[in-house]
Amino acid sequence: MPDPRKTFGDLLRATRVAKGHSLRKFAEMADMSPTYLSQIEQAKIERPPTAERVRTMAELLGQNPDEWIALAGRIPEDVSEIIKSKPQAMPELLRAAQGLTVDQLRKLTEQIREQQKDGGTEE
């Protein structure tokens, strides 16, 4: 899990360097300009990169895309669509789960998956 005190740019740079990628090489791999990548790493951009761009960088570096997207201050597109599909129930569920521990959330996730397997997905 990323260090919460580090910015997205700090984590990106440290991970990129640890994996042995130069700025230019990684920018090419991620299909962006080296200037833009440098600006991200130095937090010199107004808005963070898109969730999809962050996902690409995380996957290229073998990291958890969801963690990196959150650290960049974005929400994965699929999560946004899930919330929009049930605009009353999904935010309510998230608010109710807010105080749960990671272990409790994992257990709840497993219970939901089991319920879905058993055909218990009512609208």
The dihedral through the CA atoms of 44, 11, 51, 72 has a sign that is negative
Whether 92 has a pLDDT exceeding 70, the answer reads: yes
Separation of alpha carbons 11 and 8, rounded Å = 5
Residue 98 belongs to some domain of the structure: yes
In angstroms, the first-to-last Cα distance of the chain is: 34
Q: Give the per-residue pLDDT at 20.
A: 97
Q: How confident is the model at residue 106 (pLDDT cuts 50, 70, 90)?
A: very high
| Shared domain check, 91 and 48 | no
Please state the pTM of the whole predicted model: 0.80
What does the block give as tokens for 79?
């999560």
| Shared domain check, 100 and 55 | no
Pick from 6, 10, 41, 14: which is nearest to 27 by CA? 41
Q: Give the per-residue pLDDT at 26.
A: 98
**How much of the chain exceeds pLDDT 90, in percent?**
85
pLDDT digits (tens, 9 = 90+) for 55-65: 999 999 999 99
* Angle (nearest 5°) at CA 85 between 92 and 93: 15
Residue 79 belongs to some domain of the structure: no
| Shared domain check, 94 and 53 | no
Element (H, E) at 99: none
Let me know: does 27 contact 34? Beta carbons within 8 Å: yes
Average of per-residue pLDDT values in the chain? 92
- Full domain range(s) for residue 107: 86-117
Residue 59 belongs to some domain of the structure: yes
